[in-house]
Amino acid sequence: MRGSTRRSLAVLLAVVAFMASALTATAAVGTVSAAARANTARAANPDRPANAAVPKRHVVAYDRYSLKVDGERVMLWTGEFHYFRLPSPDLWRDALEKIRAAGFNGVSLYFHWGYHSPKPGVYDFTGVRDVDRLLRVADELGLYVVARPGPYINAESTGGGFPAWLKNVPGRARSSAPGYTAAYRDWLSHINPIIARHQVTRGGSVIVYNAENEYAANTDAAYMQDIQNKARADGIDVPITHNQCCDASWTPTWASGQGAVQIPGVDDYPQSFNCDTPGIWGTWGPGVTERLRDDAPVYAAEYQAGSVDVNSAGFDKCRELTGPDYMKVFYKSNLIASGATMYGYYMAFGGTNWGWLAQPNDVGTSYDYGAAITEHRQLTTKYDEFKRQGYFVTSVAPLTRTDPSTAPVSDNAAVHTEARANPDTGTQFVLVRHADRSTSTDESATLTWTTPDGTYRVPVRVKGRDAEILVAGYDLGGQRLAWSNSEILTHAHIGGKDVAVLYGGAGTAGATVLRYPSAPKVKVLDGSVRSSYAAGELRLDYTHAGLARVLISDGGRRPLLLMLGTDESAASFWRAGTSAAPVLVRGTSLVRSARATGNAVELRADLAEAGDVEVFGPASSRRLVVDGRAVPARVTPSGSLLGRAAGPRPVRLPDLTGWRTRTEAPEAQPGFDDSRWTVADKTTTESPIKPKNQPVLYADDYGYHYGHVWYRGRFTATGAETSVALNAVTGKHGIYQAWLNGRYLGSAAGGVQADTDDPVNPDPGRGDFPIPAGLLKKGEKATLSVLVGNMGHNDDWVATDIRHKQPRGLTGAAIAGARGLISWRIQGAEGGEDVADRARGPLNNGGLFGERAGWYLPGRTGGPWAAASPAGRRLAPGVSWYRTTFRLDLPKGQDVPVALRFGGAEDARYRVLLFVNGWNLGQYIPGRPQRDFALPAGLLRERGHNTLALAVVAEQSATVGPVSLVAMANHRGGVLVAPVPAPER
Ligand code: GAL
């Protein structure tokens, strides 16, 4: 990301906006009417079960309030997920099921151009890149998809999603320049048809299409328009959106004129990315999504749900910065202030920058993001808050069409109210929060609230950093809710009665008023609830504690089971659709799906431990089956089924022993045969950054785009050489190392950003290496060997080329005292752009000798390795490898996310590339926040033999580790994960 640059660019953008406003043309405006005919509704209902075999076609339309599918309004509540950060297709289902179970009815998906394309014209959509499969899973789960294929996506991913070969394409990226145009059209020609066949209009799940990404700097309206024309030509017929950066002050917003989209959205990151100060709120504003068009819904395209860790505070701090209290205050405030009905929470699950996927200036291997679902696929208290809000917004349909309305009057100035109402039903939604968002005092107030059912005095309380949305005048199933000062979690018609769950802060007073034509029977089944009936109104008073249950019957309406809980007990509920009514479940750590058959309810559920499982299902339910095993169960007075399900078996992971080692870097030796390396003699480059001296040594210019590159420079010595001066640009945290005639000269930090004339750092990545006396002899050939790490490519957030076309590798080389030219050769990943290991793809490998020789692969050791464990063994500077194997035998039907943990000194000067069964699962750098590296099942064989290979690049003599396997969790349940096919040798 851009961190601090985000705000400082506002001025620049104002100028750009002014220029853009001079360009006017007609926009593609209007309602999309899909080619397809309306069919069975498949829309607002959050309980849509898996799609039937025959795809149904639907009409997608919208108005100023919301999207509509077959005329039915949709609250689009999505979480962002990056398939490229979870390289195990079976685990896509795990992540998407968890996203759905949190109450999301959709998922926002970036598609990463560079992940699929190693070379111009070459695309791969197989294996871990099989996005058709990803969209099939979304279809099966009934999740709507916001498809975001860029071409530029940012996402803190290498090149912001651009393939690195684009650095060699003439013409500014993100513009109408012909070279770039041909390139991005080719990408869209590949990805659009895949997206198109999964549109809702063709029976799939893609409901909108996002053109470009935060395109606000140096914009080119013809380009923006062309992306959309291309999408239409490729069969995209759902509405097109865009995600405007930051807020609507950034222009153009693409709401009108050439390049305008139908549903312009806005990104909002109100908390900033300062994870080191999680207590400071709203650094980047109040986070209220602006309306950009009168004829389209308000769309919170990316709303902050985690953070980049720009200050290296660790992702747990980011989770705190964007924790449940922030979510309550900002998400609920935004819902009421903006009336948005389309949301994308960034991120729901962040994942892993495996291989060289990271954009190195903002992130390392982990893209955990402090998200609701951790990198190790675990659910957090943020997940609970998503559930509370997601179940609410997808259950209470009147929220899909609201206008601002008169808010109840608070008798305490410290308590702020704000309201919206549905013009058709009159249902009111009232936000209650501190007037000053940053305070956390305990405030009580009485609201004078004029609802559709009368005027009431309603007690409320805001305790700590908190916000509530209260509802009045709502036809809750067959009931009439006059008002409640408890919030609604969800409700459904289950087993012949309405079942509703309301909740409030533990210890606070709750009151709910329901209307009945005649006095109903009220039976308190659990907890302490007082009731009174007068003048058609049943009033219930209680304190939010545990989970109270009240059965209300007769009174002229169908029965209601009302459950009144706390934040915690509300979050213990799971709601899952079946082919008939939904079920509600308590007691499990997750419910993935449910089926009601005859008198049985079958759950696919996860359990962290043995415990009670309670199911509110069809009245006929007598049998409970959890993960295929019958659970003895009885019917409770609430009409639910209660049984006790088993937990997981304990697991123990093996110690890592039997290590073998091998030292490499023959490239550093003068006699090494480099005759098959690429001659580096170019004199020009497409990069706007020009080299300090000739020739151009940029790795990308020779087709070596990812990981390490080696250089060998030959020259005839004068004997008077005194020092070597190098510059290398690597991206943040990168290093490079130099050898002269086999003698190690040392290492230096690589540059981050070589601007053409950057006053702050005019000489990026500079390293000066004195030449030891006597090393070079007059008239003799000498060899300078340089190993440069490439940490990944910069983004192109400002669309200038100055960032993403930054060089990688050497940008300058001079030897003081030398005469004559150095002749250079370069070597990178095996095959260059013709990637040798196609299954693992272009981002898996660089050009270390051991990588080129296949030492990272399970079946290719290439010669003798010596027995030696990393512990207690000092490595010389340079490159060494360790390998070992281990067997796992994790119990079937359990989900045990495994990580590789590095211990050891923080100040050690080495880094490790870790390969599991040939997959590059990241880079450990001592002193950086990350010590645990996710080893996703599918790449890791949970029941089988595994090979671990560590490539250690040491700047100084160092001891690696200790290294161990850790179980990050243990659940009964999970999804079936097949090994991801990839060559062993
Ligand atoms: C947004 C951008 C995303 C990501 C995010 C920060 O502005 O669109 O791709 O970079 O910021 O994580």
Determine the distance separating the centroid of ligand 1 and the alpha carbon of 86, expressed in angstroms.
Answer: 18
Q: Are 146 and 81 spatial neighbours (Cβ–Cβ below 8 Å)?
A: no
Check whether 50 has a pLDDT greater than 70. no
User: pLDDT at position 186, please?
Assistant: 98
DSSP 8-state secondary structure symbol assigned to residue 687: S
Establish whether the linkage from the previous residue to 252 is cis, with ω within 30° of 0.
yes
Q: Is 919 helix (H, G, I), strand (E, B) or coil?
A: strand
Phi/psi for 166 (5° steps) reads -65, -20
Number of Cβ atoms within 10 Å of the Cβ of 521: 10
Distances (CA, A) of 316 to 387, 433, 821: 20, 26, 52
Q: Could you tell me the pLDDT band of residue 9, with boundaries at 50, 70 and 90?
A: very low
Query: In the prediction, which pLDDT does 19 show?
Result: 30
The pLDDT of 710-732, averaged and rounded, is 97
Q: How many angstroms separate the CA atoms of 759 and 780, rounded?
A: 40
Q: State the pLDDT at residue 249.
A: 85
CA–centroid distance, residue 635 to ligand 1 (Å):
49
Using the atom order of ligand 1, give the atom closest to the CA of residue 214. Answer: 8
| Ligand 1 touching residue 155 (CB < 6 A) | yes
Q: Is the pLDDT of residue 229 over 90?
A: yes
Question: Which residue's CA is the nearest one to ligand 1's atom 6?
Answer: 1
Q: What is the pLDDT of residues 466-487, one digit of tens each?
A: 999 999 999 999 999 999 999 9
The protein residue with its alpha carbon nearest to ligand 1, atom 3, reads: 155
Integer CA distances (angstroms), 719 to 184, 454, 668, 670, in order? 52, 98, 20, 17
With beta carbons less than 8 A apart as the criterion, state whether 898 and 938 touch. Answer: no
Pairwise CA distance, residues 601 & 214, whole Å? 46
Residue pair 848/708 in contact by the 8 Å Cβ criterion: yes
Give the mutation target among 243, 269, 302, 322 for probing the ligand 1 site: most ligand atoms within 8 A of CB.
302
**Which atom of ligand 1 approaches the CA of 110 most closely?**
9
Catalytic residues: 214, 302
φ, ψ (nearest 5 deg) of residue 418:
-155, 145
β-pair partners for 661: 866, 882
Question: DSSP string of 478-538?
Answer: TEEEEEESSEEEEEEEETTEEEEEEEE-TT-EEEEEEE-SSPEEEEEEES-EEEEEETTEE
Q: What is the per-residue pLDDT for 29?
A: 26
Place of tokens 């790490």: 789
Q: Which residue has the tokens 């943990």?
A: 901
Residue 30: is its pLDDT beyond 80? Answer: no
Tokens found for residue 495: 């087993």
- pLDDT of 131 higher than 50: yes
Examine the pLDDT at 238 and tell me if it is beyond 90.
Answer: yes
pLDDT at 757 over 70: no
Asked if pLDDT for residue 48 goes beyond 70, the answer is no
pLDDT at 26: 25
Q: Where residue 846 falls among pLDDT bands split at 50, 70, 90?
A: very high
- Residue 797: C-alpha distances to residues 2, 158, 161, 260, 689 (Å): 7, 12, 11, 20, 17
Q: Which two tokens stand for residue 559?
A: 């029965």
Q: Where are the alpha helices (DSSP H) in 178-241?
A: 178-196, 221-233
Q: Does residue 156's CB lie within 6 angstroms of at least one atom of ligand 1?
A: yes
CA distance 741 to 781: 9
How high is the pLDDT of residue 535? 96
For residue 13, is pLDDT > 50? no
pLDDT of residue 820: 86
Which atom number of ligand 1 is nearest to the Cα of residue 155? 9
Q: Tens digits of per-residue pLDDT, 620-641?
A: 999 999 999 999 999 999 999 9
Q: What does the alpha-carbon distance between residue 293 and residue 27 come to, in Å, rounded to a whole number?
A: 12
Rounded Cα gap, residues 383 and 70, in angstroms: 31
Percent of the chain with pLDDT over 70: 94
Between CA 392 and CA 385 the distance in angstroms is 11
Residue 266 Cβ < 6 Å to ligand 1 = no
3-state SS class at 452? coil
DSSP 212-278: SSS--SS--HHHHHHHHHHHHHTT--SPEEEEESSSTTSS--SSSSTT--SEEEEEE-TTTT-TT-T
Nearest residue by C-alpha to atom 4 in ligand 1:
155
How far, in Å, from the CA of 178 to the mean position of ligand 1?
A: 27
Measured from the CB, is residue 410 less than 6 Å from ligand 1? Answer: no
In this predicted structure, the answer to whether residue 45 has a pLDDT above a threshold of 50 is: no
Mean pLDDT for 719-745 is: 97
For ligand 1, the distance from its centroid to the CA atom of residue 236, given in whole angstroms, is: 24
Cβ–Cβ < 8 Å for 7, 203: no
Closest residue by Cα to atom 10, ligand 1, is 155
pLDDT at 675: 97
The DSSP H or E segment spanning 835 is none
Q: Give dist(CA 680, CA 678) in Å, integer.
A: 6
Q: What are phi and psi of 579, to 5 degrees?
A: -65, -20
User: Tokens representing 240?
Assistant: 């097109």
267 lines ligand 1 (CB under 6 A): yes
**Alpha-carbon Rg of the chain, whole angstroms?**
30
Is any atom of ligand 1 closer than 6 Å to the C-beta of 214? Answer: yes
Q: What is the mean pLDDT of the chain?
A: 93
Averaged pLDDT for residues 330-338: 98
- Does the beta carbon of 606 lie inside 6 Å of ligand 1? no
User: What mean pLDDT do residues 700-715 have?
Assistant: 98
> What pLDDT does residue 403 have?
98
Residue with the two structure tokens 């390392």: 364
Q: What is the mean pLDDT of residues 94-100?
A: 98
pLDDT surpasses 60 at 798: yes
What is the pLDDT confidence band of residue 756, given thresholds at 50, 70 and 90? Answer: low
Residue type, position 736, single letter: Y
SS3 29: coil
Query: How many whole angstroms from 90 Cα to the centroid of ligand 1?
Result: 26
Compute the distance between CA of residue 543 and CA of residue 528 in angstroms, rounded to an integer: 8
Name the residue with the closest Cα to ligand 1, atom 9.
155
Dihedral of CA 401/403/406/411: which sign?
positive
For residue 10, the CA-to-ligand 1 centroid distance in Å is: 16
The pLDDT value given to residue 23: 27
* Cis preceding linkage at 89, omega within 30: no
Is residue 845 within 8 A of residue 830, CB to CB? The reply is: yes
Per-residue confidence band for 709, with pLDDT thresholds at 50, 70 and 90: very high
Query: What average pLDDT does range 208-217 have in this prediction?
Result: 97
Please determine, for residue 55, whether its predicted confidence score (pLDDT) is greater than 70.
Answer: no
Amino acid at 627: D
**Bridging pattern class, strands 723-729 and 442-451:** unpaired
Q: How many CB atoms lie within 10 A of CB 203?
A: 19
In tens, the pLDDT along 532-547 reads 999 999 999 999 999 9
pLDDT tops 70 at residue 744: yes
pLDDT digits (tens, 9 = 90+) for 152-161: 999 999 999 9
- How far is it, in rounded angstroms, from Cα 444 to Cα 452? 24
Residue 437's pLDDT band, with cuts at 50, 70 and 90, is confident
Q: What is the largest CA-CA distance in the chain?
A: 109
Per-residue pLDDT, 21: 30
Token match 């005759």: residue? 675
Mean pLDDT of 138-143: 97
